[in-house]
Structure 1
């Protein structure tokens, strides 16, 4: 696994997780505005577990709207549906899931990995060939590390390793914290869709928070270098 060279850091990009989707129609109506509103690198599609034919149809319905806007479409698990639905990759939860997914996804599709409880797990994922590592998502009981612990893990990874790191943010304030810590991407989801101001406005606010946090860190770094 390559060690990351010292360089200036671009602003972290957004990684948007969908609500749990069965019927794609409502999402198809809102996605174009969202994808035009902010710099979204990828969309994580969370599929409701129904019959495979219906799930594949949902992926096929959503893929053009996402990919034509320049974003990658990843499935949350469901690696067996990636090629059949025309997705760009899959997000695995844990090392064993990643190992199972890699033969299907590599070399042409994206293999992301979360569910990484220790630093050793994170390094193992990178060594196996994960295209990114995700820190901070809730576990099967809905528990997650503190914001400080997530930020610490992001900073550690950013300073040492080449594969991108992603911070899972539950508020736009957390998104700013993870941008300051060195995240390459910030994954946002439920709070975007639940905000009474609307998903587009919340997404725009979150991107602005990331931009300000990133600018503050690098302005300070430039000042310290003199």
Structure 2
């Protein structure tokens, strides 16, 4: 067992072009999960995007989650939802999607936040704030939280990488179960396929312990 890739859609994109980039990324190797984030398209627009993207990723064996929008997640037949808004929204997601669907939690700013959402029964916690502009390197707090979590808790964690693919190694070294990539894949000079291939080569060198892999 080694850490796996968790891809995040760009903050904004043109759908047809992104579908081509996604197909390229998925052809580059193992991708455990894709998170579709809300680029401000409105309810109908977000649902259309989810309905287009979900089957592409699922056909490649990749689980797909939708950020915060339970309706879009349900109608697109996504594998679950990622919640980073409020405790109330997370509670509703857990009630509506589990046990068949995946519920992940983000927006975590403190260790107490992480422990609280894990106790609620989420399937994973994500360290790193998606609303922030991407830094080149993984945020120091993301690495600290991921390392602490991997040593102490069984709930899987996701470490958010920076915009440079070189950060994959630092994220993997924390013991995180998943490493999340955004711009490092979609903006890679050699294309998404090369980025996924290179990231997987790094991840394959980091073996999870039994405690870290659950």
What is the correspondence of 1:1-226 to structure 2 with a 5 Å cutoff?
A: 10-20=1-11, 23-96=14-87, 97-138=89-130, 147-170=139-162, 171-212=164-205, 214=206
1:108 Cα deviation after fit: 1.9
- 8 Å Cα contact 1:23/1:58 also seen in 2: no
Which blocks of at least 5 consecutive residues in structure 2 are unaligned? 210-214
Question: Partners of 1:31 and 1:101 in 2: how far apart?
Answer: 26
What are the superposed Cα offsets for residues 59-116 of structure 1, whole Å, 9 maximum, x if unpaired? 1121111111111111122122211121111111155242343223222211111111
User: Are the aligned partners of 1:158 and 1:182 in contact in 2 as well (CA < 8 Å)?
Assistant: yes
Question: Which TM-score applies when normalising by structure 2?
Answer: 0.85
Instruction: Measure, in 2, the Cα distance between the counterparts of 1:95 and 1:174.
Output: 29
Q: Which is richer in helix?
A: 1
Q: CA RMSD in A?
A: 2.6
* 3-state DSSP of counterpart to 2:8: strand
Question: Which deviates the most, 31-40 or 89-98?
Answer: 89-98
Q: Which has the larger radius of gyration?
A: 1
CA distance in 1, matches of 2:180, 2:170: 13
